[in-house]
Amino acid sequence: MPKLTIDNLEVTVPEGTNVLEAARELDIVIPHFCYHEALGAVGSCRLCAMMFVDGPVTGLQMACMVEAQDGMVVSSTDPDAIELREHVIEWAMTNHPHDCPVCDEGGECQLQEMTVAGGHGVRRYNGKKCTFTNQDLGPFVQQEMNRCITCYRCVRTYRDYCGGTDYGVFGSRNRIQYGRFQEGTLESPFSGNIIDACPTGVLTSKPFRFKTRLWDLQEAPSICPHCSLGCATIPGGRYREVQRVKAGINRETHGFFICDRGRFGYDHVNHQERPRQARVDGQPVAVAAALTAARERVAGMAREHGPNSIAFLGSSRASFEGSVLLRDWAAATGSQQLVYEAHQGRDHAARTLAARLGEHGRSLEDLRQSDLIVLFGADPLAEGPMLALAIRQAVRNGGKVIVIDPRPVELPCAASHLPLAMERLTDVLTALAQKDLHAFDNHEHAFLENLSEQFDSAQRPVLIGGADLLGGKGVDALCSTAAQLSSAECAVGVMTMLAGPNSYGGALLAGDGPDFDTILDAIQEGTIRALVCLESDPFREAMDPSRAQAALGHLELLVSFDATPGLAAQRADIFLPTRANAEMAGSYMNNEGRLQAFQAVIDPGLPISETGAGNHPPREFFQTTPGSAPEADWWLLAELLERDTTLAALRKTIEQSDECFVGLSAIDAESTGLRFSAQGSLPPAAEQDLLQTGVTDALKLLAITGPVGSHWLAHLSSPLAATQPKPYVVLHPEQAEKLGLSAGDRARLTTHFGHCHVVIRTDEKMVNGLILAPQLWDTALEGMVPGSMLDCQLEKEGKA
């Protein structure tokens, strides 16, 4: 570990640290543009000059390009270094316009900070400035090229880090321009990161444009609610609406960047149809009255029909604290009917993972360092896009990626792909563990033999699974294979994509209780008469929505707590509005069992854009804010259970009652979170076979999670609306030819849900003989619950 002296202070840093980073350890900040922790140093902006006074390197050097070495004596305050930085920033500023008062970057402009830090105060250049024609880059990113100082950060983020292929840099000298070959929407699902990466106002958020000056924005550290990875975010709100999200930093999970779904999926908080009013039997009531009604009716039902006549359904969207209180309510009632996921496959997958992950758990940071990643039934761009970026970094570091999946899994990096039917994924896992591949034919045999050899030489291999396709049995096989392939020298890691931000937390709390399909049977039979839904919508989230809707019609009492306009919220006898993630403090447990805390950004209330309908809001005065009834899920449940309603007290109680959650109170919202060693219980064995097909010669359709359109919260966010596809299905080109179809054709899809119109897509990377249909909310494909297999017919209706 080299020890060096910077500005007369000594610092010891790890091998390979550059001098700019070493200075930062001492809180000495040298102005810089091109250096970025995730992107590395390139030495192109020439701004981080420091004087190397003594030691192995001497003279004026770019601090980011010099590796810290023993005995270096460096000065950041040397007059020559200061003068050089002053000139460099003056050059960078020559063409920069004086439009700060109307620039959306104003308030967080790094160029402005660096200009001041660099010592450039008075502009001497009086010549003409370069001007450029902007490109329309689609619904997310606004370009204003005239402000560019050509630091290259956007291209390094978009192309190098995120693997985008349609954004680059053109020209030379003062003609340098960034953009696409031809004007159009940026294709990468990580495009929004160039907004964060740009140090000035060239690339800003289009949906956020001209909404709020940044010093008026309320911000707080949060955790993204859109998938199970738990990326740190910083939502910003004003006028009672969330207006934007930028990436937070968590070096253990996502790093510095987030996906576009997380960045532009905030608008569910502001959704016009979001239920904000407590109701009992269709009548609006105060929250306190609805809580009393819920408490008394549930207790009354327990007295009359026994405690097990009430079922409690949590969800992956609810906070960890709220989920604990739901368990406490079930326990206080005496009911054993407690489950945290309406989707059976996802429930079994999450509970199996929570029971078996243990030492095999890996973070996204571990993945970035992995040398062999094998995906079994996991589609990162659909199920958790930042996983795809972590995999890309592993490949950039020399790692290999292998995909075994019925779907044509796209990744932003090179990968080898074996198309394999869903029901055979578990067979492959078992075969690999036992090193017995005789059941596979030539091509598959060769592929798997090669994979098996790669395992033998890998140092840090990780197996990745997806809950949708693997279910409980698959995740069990994944964990068993990881255990079998592990040796004293090399532990095989596991990561599994779950349904939502707190799937793992719910799975830990569910224990070995019944799954929701069992509960549905009991509701159908009439033994369960009441259902409490915490931020879940069993009408649409259960494996078989038509069966669920039929059974749920028998309920005598439906209680719903929710922040979104779902069917359970609409049909509930007692409804309690909850706060959205950005409106509350709480925590989620991500898919590696890492508990991460988040804070409230804004208080709930009808957005002023809505109450004012574009004008000044009404000049009426009330004691309360309109639409401010929603409370945090944990607050409502604590109130209902007559507990202390502060989060600190609640977390203390959880720590006292569950030893395995000690440390919960101490988790800081800006920390990397805490992985608990808590171990869950396996779900009850009676998992239905995921294949629900009757006719053997019928066309088989596999419902999947699509990259866009399949995620409920994202679907409720208007900035993402432009990316929503029309209903489509994907076929292997050979299968399409057999059916007389080609890409772009319009076709009629018939399933037991009825008929609907779809557009044909083809992909030769997928398994032949299967039709893939994404679940798309509020379209004819809404009922395509991921992981379910249906019989279908497909007939051509029109040409492309």
Partner 1 sequence: MSELLPQNQIDSFKAKAAAISHPHELIVDLLRAIQSHHGWVPDDGVLLTAETLGVLPIEVEELATFYDKIFRREVGKRVIHICDSICCWSTGAEMITDHLKKSIGISLGETTADGQFTLLPTCCLGACGDAPAMMIGLTTHGLLTTEKIDEILQQERAAIAAEG
Q: Which positions lie near partner 1, rule CB under 8 A? A: 165-173, 175, 180-182
Closest approach of partner 1 to the CB of residue 134, in Å: 16
* 789 and 700 Cβ atoms separated by less than 8 Å: yes
Of 165 and 546, nearer to partner 1 (C-beta) is: 165
User: What stretches of 636-734 adopt beta strand conformation (E)?
Assistant: 674-675, 699-704, 728-731
**Among the residues of 35-149, which ranges form H helices?**
79-93, 110-118
CA angle 507, 368, 431 (to 5 degrees): 65
Instruction: Write down the residue that tokens 């509350």 correspond to.
Output: 584
Of 171 and 553, nearer to partner 1 (C-beta) is: 171
Closest approach of partner 1 to the CB of residue 169, in Å: 6
Closest approach of partner 1 to the CB of residue 186, in Å: 12
Closest approach of partner 1 to the CB of residue 171, in Å: 5
Distance between CA 178 and CA 181 in Å, rounded? 10
Closest approach of partner 1 to the CB of residue 150, in Å: 13
CA distances from residue 472 to 349, 350, 468 in whole angstroms, order as listed: 4, 7, 10
Amino acid at 376: F
Closest approach of partner 1 to the CB of residue 418, in Å: 24
Structure tokens at 518: 């069992």
* 62 and 49 Cβ atoms separated by less than 8 Å: yes
Closest approach of partner 1 to the CB of residue 172, in Å: 5
Closest approach of partner 1 to the CB of residue 177, in Å: 8
Bridge-based pairing state of the strands 73-75 and 372-376? unpaired
Of 98 and 173, nearer to partner 1 (C-beta) is: 173
Closest approach of partner 1 to the CB of residue 381, in Å: 19
Distance between CA 738 and CA 142 in Å, rounded? 45
Of 160 and 365, nearer to partner 1 (C-beta) is: 160
Closest approach of partner 1 to the CB of residue 152, in Å: 12
User: Residue 160 carries which DSSP code?
Assistant: I
Distance between CA 517 and CA 342 in Å, rounded? 8
Instruction: Map 598-638 to HEC letters.
Output: ECCCCCCCCCHHHHCCCCCCCCCCCCCCCCCCCECHHHHHH
Of 14 and 171, nearer to partner 1 (C-beta) is: 171
Of 177 and 653, nearer to partner 1 (C-beta) is: 177
SS3 450: helix
Of 165 and 657, nearer to partner 1 (C-beta) is: 165
Of 168 and 733, nearer to partner 1 (C-beta) is: 168
Q: Is 135 left (phi over 0), alpha (psi -120 to 50) or beta?
A: beta
Closest approach of partner 1 to the CB of residue 342, in Å: 43
Of 91 and 181, nearer to partner 1 (C-beta) is: 181
Of 161 and 208, nearer to partner 1 (C-beta) is: 161
| Close Cβ partners of 574 (under 8 Å, ≥ 6 residues apart) | 279, 280, 281, 290, 293, 294, 297, 557, 558, 559, 560
Distance between CA 770 and CA 206 in Å, rounded? 39
Structure tokens at 231: 């990326």
Of 197 and 776, nearer to partner 1 (C-beta) is: 197
Instruction: Write down the residue that tokens 């809580």 correspond to.
Output: 291
* 449 and 435 Cβ atoms separated by less than 8 Å: no
Closest approach of partner 1 to the CB of residue 160, in Å: 13
Structure tokens at 370: 């992995």
Give the gyration radius of the chain's Cα atoms: 28
Of 125 and 170, nearer to partner 1 (C-beta) is: 170
